Amino acid sequence: MNPELFEKGMALRRQVLGEKHIEKRHASPDPYTQRQQELVTEIAWGTIWSRPGLPLKVRSLVTLAMLAALNRPDEIRGHIAGALNNGATMDEIVEVFVQAAAYCGFPASNGGVRLAVEVFKERRLI
């Protein structure tokens, strides 16, 4: 593990997803899950999310589209919150899932919109 990339990734991950999300992901006592979280933090966040080529808001919206395409509701919820933290509007987030209907099908679109509404309600945005 590269400690510098891990720390850079952890700082960005906290900024985007929030402390509660990080605590939940890193709470596992088993070494396998811990190592997986270290890889995610170092590579996805310390290397890829930290690149200057796209603003964080755009990265969040692109990530939501890909997670919808892959049918990963367990990851979508956290990234909806992250997109809001990165300045995406509720309308922009929902529009990503509406767009997904054309390319991923309505089940993916419906699931994304449903999760978005849940997150919006939890945050008392609607």
Q: Which of 117, 78, 81, 82 is nearest to 97 (CA)?
A: 117
Q: Which of 3, 84, 17 is nearest to 26 (CA)?
A: 17
| Band (22; pLDDT cuts 50, 70, 90) | confident
Give residue 116's pLDDT band: very low, low, confident or very high (50, 70, 90): very high
Same domain, 10 and 70: no
Q: What is the CATH number of the domain that holds 68?
A: 1.20.1290.10
Is residue 42 domain-shared with residue 64, that is, in the same domain?
Answer: no
Let me know: does 86 contact 47? Beta carbons within 8 Å. Answer: no
Q: Please write down the HEC assignment for all residues of 22-72.
A: HHHHCCCCCHHHHHHHHHHHHHHHHHHHCCCCCCHHHHHHHHHHHHHHCCC
